[in-house]
Chains A and B, each alone.
Chain A
């Protein structure tokens, strides 16, 4: 069953001479528990695609279904709530709240939703990601790799339907990148988590179950459908 599906997804910026077709009819579907890497050069439209998938931006036309729901129809406020329940984000620049400690950052989306965090689950994530000793540290005291691991933990804490990672290793050196990615992979299989990751790094992409290549706003080849 597809947990994530798009149909004829289009996103245009500007108009007339300056019309930019960032996405030009993307059909993509991702199965539950899959680890998909979207690869493309800069300007290929991969970030735009991710923003559409995560409900951060609205398509010009086409549809996005997450967990069976058409998110392009949701209102702003509903979309935000949907996002914090169903989608976990990992950004290139970590984006942790500087005044909250590691633990607080991790449980923030859950608390924003007005729920009590599942403590055992959070502890589990923290352990898996090797953050046990850093639970009360502030982001400014962590290294880049550690910060990104916190971001991953935060993305997982709400038990989302999909985890979207936007160049998660973009700011890290290659050794740390490998580390973070292995952890992402481990957690993905351990918690049965669907992961969609964007990268321009082929080597990194190789770790995914499936690679989708995107070029000039379209999917190249047949990567759009899950292997049977």
Chain B
């Protein structure tokens, strides 16, 4: 076969027919733009989230170095740093085990030496001043200064109380001059004080004192960490291992010259990659967008090809080959893609950029700065996927155009393929029957339009089903027992241990309670005491069938597949948590066995002869039967450290209220008694928390009050409020509604575009037929009514299809999803659909009417004679 130079003529043909179909071009390029926009938004959100997770992980891990070799000596450092794989390295040194200033209780501060060249890798940004030079000069972050109650000024002095060493600690008060202020990272709840190299020389003896004979630090003080950067981030751990072994050290734990190392987890886990749910959501999102795009782009091209079929037939007659015609159609598609994609990319990126912070705000990394970079992969991916969609969508229409025979083309009318032999009806002339037949002309087109419209309706309904299945009550009932819960900051860090020694650092102060009680709007509340000093006497404890004994005769129980031992004190008695509750918290317990009446419980507990035993619950608040370790009616004996014994009967079993009534640490044996009984056995200092309610309309004011109080008056205290969890909850549902809403809107717009296109082309292609109907006596009003009826039929079928699909999907997939999450309560929801249906019907009437308006101005004669 000879190769003919026909590219130019094919291009010209394609471009000319391109110009001839303006409406199609507008709709198709809009559709392509929207598809590209959805893809871009999806990729922006995806990559933006991953990127910010990574950034946040890096910040939490303290830097962007690829890896770290831990606890090296300077000699080892020298050897390791010389390894050819190591591109950059730094020896950073921890200079104290802890900074003890009480102001830093809620936010720890670390004292470090970091070489100045390494600051960027540790995210140390000096916003004012200079790096320290002398031994008593430091950089301090702004938040730390604020906690110390100092202004952000260089040149001032700060005094740190340093704990050196761990086992045999030495406390040293040391004063420094601030030479520069660092920008603190809100994502990181740690402050930094950075010294100069001179500090290392000045205090060399002190640092050495906390190292063993081989020169390695025992605790944190004097611990040198080697930050390592390689040329790229592939296979970091392997490279670290190579560096260590090839420098003559070992990577086997226990060896004499063992060096521990690890890769920066920011480079290993991107925070989303491994989660199957996230992957499923991403794939699902891609799928829906592809389908949406396909449905409209395919339909637009299918319709346009069929409309122009005579033209393609003509081209065939004059000698255009099938593949050339296919090229003509394809070329038009690519041209539309070139027009549509850029707009979609820009729009999609901004939508994504707008949504990413909202997604991240819901994650554990809240509070950090969110940046969405112009990652080329976003656009590459979006362009690629859009092109794939366009490609898939135009394949079939191009093939139809290519296959048409010149003879057939002349006779080709929509749906007139002689599939049906006869139509044995006599009332087809009725308007609505004609409308219905109009839809039946091209079943495929109709089905696609209906699918396209239904998709958004079903999507909308599913999203609303999910969000309305989020049960605020269920969510709150897990976290919230009262309007406010106040306690020491340590309690919220899971650091309330309830040992009398050191209790003053972790207990709640009476002054804070008083301040709250005096505040306007306070209603009522009650204290919860907790001590870990009392133990459960082993000899009198009767284990249930869920308690097992191992080979040493020690009791254990199973949590899932892990063996949980029951910790024993030196006398062999089991460690227990004993709580004393005032009336208010006592009213919040949920008995599941034994005495069920709360009044009776209160009265009986006050006698000092009874306790309540706690049983574990699962995510849904149901008792975990296999975790029951005692029963109501059992007699138990609590033993004090001084050997005093006191016997109790377990009055009832109550459900574990993890966030409201416990230390939040999960213990094997937890017992509740009345506050007064508690105080007979343990110190009233063991005050764990205070729960209280406020007047409903005062919650905001109260939160503001406590917020100020805990920052200015008693910074060691902290609080949780119902409101905080309510906000968290509405934030979460809001996000899903937002993302879902954007998706539904775009899919909906695409569906409507599809509908408009098919109605419009339906009218344009039947212009002559419509004119002829008018000639034989169909009034324009009847014509309009028939077209509107067609639209209504579309709407009607869409309603049927989306009702069916929406209900099925809701009852299966959405339900399964809803029942999988503990705070969801599946409800069958149908109102979003019902709300949309009138809109669909309205569209069904309005769109054909508007599409027909310009046509009706043309006179019948001109149409008939022009097109004859």
Q: Do A and B share a complex?
A: yes
- Show the binding face of A for B, using Cβ within 8 Å: 47, 51, 54, 56-57, 76-77, 80-81, 83-85, 88-89, 91-93, 95, 97-101, 103-104, 107-109, 111-113, 136-138, 140-141, 154-155, 158
* 12 contacts across the A-B interface (CB closer than 8 A): A56-B859, A76-B780, A77-B779, A80-B774, A83-B776, A88-B776, A98-B416, A99-B437, A100-B423, A137-B421, A141-B421, A158-B777
Counting chain A CB atoms within 10 Å of each CB, which of B413, B416, B426, B776 scores highest? B776
| A85: B residues at CB distance < 8 A | 777
Most buried by A among B411, B413, B434: B434
Bound CA span A54–B782, Å? 19
Is B598 interfacial (CB-CB < 8 Å)? no
Partner among B411, B429, B441, B860 whose Cβ is within 8 Å of the Cβ of A112: B429
Q: Given that A91-B772, A97-B769, A113-B777 are known contacts, is A104 also in contact with B426, CB under 8 Å in the complex?
A: yes
B864 close to A (CB within 8 Å): yes
Contact indicator B413/A98 (Cβ below 8 Å): yes
Q: Mark B464-489, 1 if CB is under 8 A from A, else 0.
A: 00000000000000000000000000
Are A100 and B428 in contact, with the CB atoms below 8 A? yes
**In the assembled complex, B422 has its CB within 8 A of some CB on chain A:** yes
Contact in complex: B777, A81 (CB < 8 Å): yes
Is the CB–CB distance between B423 and A136 below 8 Å?
Answer: yes
What's the Cα separation between A31 and B408 when bound, in Å? 45
Contact yes or no, B429 A56, CB < 8 A: no
Chain B residues 399 to 420 lying within 8 A of chain A, measured CB to CB, are: 411, 413, 415-416, 418, 420
Residues of B within 8 A of A83 (CB): 775-777
Task: Give every chain B residue within 8 A of A154 (Cβ-Cβ).
Answer: 776
Q: Which residues of B contact A77 (CB under 8 A)?
A: 779-781
A81 touches B779 (CB 8 A): yes
Complexed CA–CA distance, A111 and B431 (Å): 9
Contact A51 B777 (CB under 8 A): no
The contact string, 1 if C-beta is below 8 Å from chain A, for chain B 774-804, is 1111111110000000000000000000000
Interchain CB contact under 8 A, B861 and A56: yes
A45 to chain B, nearest CB (A): 13
Q: How far is the CA of A51 from the CA of B425 in the complex (A)?
A: 33
Is residue B868 contacting chain A, with contact meaning CB distance below 8 A?
yes
Residue B430 at the chain A interface, CB threshold 8 Å: yes
Whether B780 lies near A80 (C-beta < 8 A) is yes
In contact, B434 and A99 (Cβ under 8 angstroms): yes
Give the CA-CA distance A85 to B777 in the complex, in Å: 8
How far apart sit A100 and B429, CA to CA, in the bound complex (Å)?
Answer: 7
Nearest CB of B to A115, in Å: 11
Nearest CB of B to A141, in Å:
6
CB distance from B373 to the nearest CB of A (A): 56
Among B821-868, those with CB < 8 Å from A are: 859-861, 864-865, 868
Instruction: Specify which of B423, B426, B777 lies most central, judged by the most chain A CB atoms within 10 Å of its CB.
Output: B777
Residue in contact with B769 in the complex, picked from A80, A89, A98, A108, CB distance below 8 Å: A98
Question: Are the CB atoms of A140 and B423 closer together than 8 Å?
Answer: no
**A8 to B402, alpha carbons, bound, how many Å?**
54
Closest residue to A58 on the B side, CB-wise?
B859
Known interface pairs A57-B861, A91-B772, A140-B416. Does A101 touch B777 (Cβ–Cβ under 8 Å)? no
Question: Is B806's CB within 8 Å of the partner chain A?
Answer: no
Instruction: For residue A50, give the distance in angstroms from its CB to the closest CB of chain B.
Output: 10
**Chain A residues positioned under 8 Å from B429 (CB to CB):** 100, 104, 107-108, 111-112
Complex: how many Å from CA A140 to CA B434?
17
A76 to B856: give the CA distance in the assembly, Å. Answer: 11
B773 lies within 8 A of chain A by Cβ: yes
A136 closest partner in B (C-beta): B422
Q: Which of A57, A101, A112 contacts B782 (CB 8 A)?
A: A112
Whether the pair B779, A80 counts as a contact (CB closer than 8 A) is: yes
Q: CB distance B413 to A89 under 8 Å?
A: no
Contacts of A93 in B (CB 8 A): 868
In whole Å, how far is B150's beta carbon from the nearest beta carbon of chain A? 86
State whether A89 touches B775 (Cβ < 8 A): yes
Q: Let me know if A51 and B778 touch, CB within 8 A.
A: no
Measured between beta carbons, the chain A residues less than 8 angstroms from B780 are 76-77, 80
CA distance A41 to B633 in the complex (A): 116
Partner of A138, one of B411, B420, B774: B420
Q: Which of B422, B430, B441, B775 contacts A99 (CB under 8 A)?
A: B441
State whether A101 and B776 are in contact (beta carbons under 8 Å apart), knowing that A77-B781, A91-B864 are contacts in the complex: no
Query: Chain A residue with minimal CB distance to B781?
Result: A77
Cα-based distance from A47 to B866 in the complex (angstroms):
13
Residue of B nearest to A103 (CB): B426
Question: B424 at interface (Cβ–Cβ under 8 A)?
Answer: yes
Indicate whether B440 reaches chain A with its CB closer than 8 angstroms: yes
The complex places the Cα of A113 from the Cα of B429 at a distance, in Å, of: 11
Question: CA–CA, A92 to B772, complex, Å?
Answer: 12
A109 vs B775: C-alpha distance when bound (angstroms): 10
Asked if B580 CB lies within 8 Å of chain A CBs, one says: no
Minimal beta-carbon separation of B220 from chain A (angstroms) = 85
| Chain B: minimal CB distance from A118 (Å) | 13
Q: Is B438 an interface residue (CB 8 A)?
A: yes
Query: Given that A57-B861, A83-B775, A97-B769 are known contacts, is A140 also in contact with B425, CB under 8 Å in the complex?
Result: no
* B868 A92 Cβ-Cβ under 8 A: yes
Q: Give the complex CA separation of A104 and B430 in angstroms.
A: 9
CB distance from A206 to the nearest CB of B (A): 25
Q: Which residues on the A side are within 8 Å of B428 (C-beta)?
A: 99-101, 104
State which of B413, B430, B776 has its C-beta within 8 Å of the C-beta of A140: B413
Q: Is the CB of B425 within 8 A of A101?
A: yes
| In the complex, chain B residues whose CB is within 8 Å of the CB of A140 | 411, 413, 416, 418
A14 CB to closest chain B CB (Å) equals 14
Beyond contacts A95-B864, A100-B437, A104-B427: 13 other A-B pairs, Cβ-Cβ < 8 A, are A51-B861, A80-B780, A83-B776, A84-B776, A85-B777, A91-B775, A92-B868, A99-B437, A100-B428, A104-B429, A108-B776, A109-B777, A138-B422
Q: Is A101 a contact partner of B423 (Cβ separation < 8 A)?
A: yes
Q: Would you give the shortest CB distance from B411 to chain A, in whole angstroms?
A: 8
B418 touches A80 (CB 8 A): no
User: Which residues of B sit under 8 angstroms from A155, Cβ to Cβ?
Assistant: 776
Given known contacts A95-B772, A98-B416, A140-B416, A112 and B425 CB-to-CB distance under 8 angstroms: no
B454 to A: closest C-beta gap in Å: 24
Asked if A80 and B777 sit within 8 Å, CB to CB, the answer is yes
Q: Which one of A89, A101, A108, A109 contacts B422 once the chains associate, using CB atoms below 8 Å?
A: A101
Residues of B within 8 A of A107 (CB): 426, 429
With a cutoff of 8 Å between Cβ atoms, the chain A residues found around residue B859 in the complex are: 56-57
Tell me, in angstroms, the Cα distance from A84 to B774 when the chains sit together.
Answer: 9
- Residues on A with C-beta less than 8 A from B434 are 97, 99-100
Residues of B within 8 A of A100 (CB): 423, 428-429, 434, 437
Q: Which residues of B have CB within 8 Å of A84? A: 776-778
Beyond A77-B781, A83-B777, is A56–B424 a contact (Cβ under 8 Å)?
A: no
Residue of B nearest to A104 (CB): B428
Contacts of B424 in A (CB 8 A): 101, 136
Min Cβ gap A134→B in Å is 9
Contact, CB under 8 Å: A95 / B775: yes
> Considering the chains assembled together, what is the distance between the CA atoms of A99 and B439 in angstroms?
10
Instruction: Tell me how far the C-beta of B283 lies from the nearest C-beta in chain A, rounded to whole angstroms.
Output: 42
A107 to B426 CA separation, bound complex (whole angstroms)? 9
The residue in chain B whose Cβ has the minimal distance to the Cβ of A90 is B776
| Docked complex Cα distance between A205 and B864 (Å) | 24
A228–B429 Cα distance when bound, in Å, is 42
In the bound assembly, the distance between CA atoms of A31 and B769 in angstroms comes to: 32
Contact of B425 among A54, A95, A104 (CB under 8 A): A104
Q: How far is the CB of A176 from chain B (nearest CB, A)?
A: 18
CB distance from B857 to the nearest CB of A (A): 11
